[in-house]
């Protein structure tokens, strides 16, 4: 079983993990779902102690949260705008009997960041900027929305306490406010791991 192999820290390629997805979701993996190696590295950085509450901003098909919950002692919450992906993620949660995860169907602006200790962001707002990045017609191309969402994240992160950890993947770091410093990076610099120091 895939998750048992992950628990044993076996090396796993994305093609192996993605067998849990139907074809219409699997085909989005290369552009929209976090690679297994990135998910492992980011989750292990974010969960600095047992019980850390991690928010995945734009959780898609649930891949990051599922991998993180299996490999760490954190609790992972994914917030997803698309109702079909929210329901599908919950189906996987039940099917594989995974614990320490929940998924929320909501816009990110409805989420209280103070309920969480650490954050993962795989640049989910880029869909508002370019037709080449769009997953389906559920999200409008609207650069103004991109700016609003990015500003919302920056404000929320700014209000978090010193010691808050954040991992960003494939972003330009516009959402990261002053006070956060890169602690490490990987995957050709696309994964950045931050901590709020002041």
Tens digit of pLDDT for each residue in 30-79? 778 999 999 999 999 999 999 999 999 999 999 999 999 999 999 999 99
The per-residue pLDDT for 131 is: 63
Distance CA 181, CA 164 (A): 11
The structure tokens 């891949």 sit at: 63
- Secondary structure class of 57 (helix, strand, coil): strand
What's the whole-number mean pLDDT along residues 131-141?
68
Q: How confident is the model at residue 126 (pLDDT cuts 50, 70, 90)?
A: low
pLDDT in tens, 114-125: 999 999 999 877
Residue 156 scores a pLDDT above 90: yes
pTM for the full predicted model: 0.94
Domain layout of the chain by residue ranges: 2-196
Domain spanning 2-196, CATH architecture = 3-Layer(aba) Sandwich (3.40)
> Which is it for the CA torsion 67, 173, 185, 26, positive or negative?
positive
């Amino acid at each position: 079983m895939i998750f048992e192999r992950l628990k044993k820290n076996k090396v796993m390629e994305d093609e192996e993990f993605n067998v849990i997805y139907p074809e219409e979701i699997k085909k989005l993996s290369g552009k929209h779902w976090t690679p297994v190696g990135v998910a492992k590295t980011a989750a292990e950085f974010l969960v600095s102690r047992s019980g850390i509450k991690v928010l995945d901003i734009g959780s898609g098909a649930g891949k990051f949260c599922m991998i993180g919950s299996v490999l760490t002692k954190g609790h992972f919450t994914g917030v997803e705008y698309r109702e079909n992906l929210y329901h599908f993620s919950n189906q996987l949660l039940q099917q594989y009997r995974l614990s320490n995860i929940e998924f929320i169907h909501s816009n990110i602006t409805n989420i209280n960041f103070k309920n969480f200790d650490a954050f993962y962001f795989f640049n989910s707002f880029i869909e508002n900027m370019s037709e080449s990045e769009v997953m389906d017609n559920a999200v409008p191309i609207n650069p103004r929305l991109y700016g609003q969402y990015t500003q919302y994240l920056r404000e929320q992160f700014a209000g978090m306490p010193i010691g808050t950890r954040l991992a960003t993947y494939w972003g330009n770091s516009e959402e990261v406010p002053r006070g956060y410093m890169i602690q490490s990076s990987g995957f050709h610099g696309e994964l950045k791991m931050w901590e709020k120091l002041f």
